[in-house]
Amino acid sequence: MEFFTWCMIAAGFGMAIGSFGTALGQGLAIKSAVEGVARNPGASGKILTTMMIGLAMIESLAIYVFVVAMIILFANPFTDQVVALLSK
């Protein structure tokens, strides 16, 4: 396969793994927050605030994965070297 095909596959797998991991993390965070509110409804404001901050941090991981995938697809630093090797 060509280099660019492998770049597409790598970006796709990276997004899939990154999305899967962040989805699990967000699901577990929400589950724990709901359990905490069910046990102590008086602390719901503090729990929900902390949960929202945690969800933002988890979501930033998905954004980082997306940025790396876009770099692999569109701004790959090895493109020139690979094209030079393939043209020989």
- Domain annotation covers residue 50: yes
Identify the pLDDT of residue 76. 78
Residue 72: per-residue pLDDT: 85
Distances in Å between the alpha carbon of 10 and those of 20, 31, 60, 68?
15, 31, 20, 10
pLDDT of residue 87: 80
Helix (H, G, I), strand (E, B) or coil at 1: coil
Give the SS3 label for residue 40.
coil
Domain of 8: which CATH number?
Answer: 1.20.20.10
pTM for the full predicted model: 0.72
- The CA distance from 30 to 13, in Å, is 26
Cα separation, 13 vs 10, in Å, equals 5
Residues of the chain with pLDDT under 50: none
Give the domain extent around 57: 3-76
Coil, helix or strand for 75?
A: coil
Domain count for the chain: 1
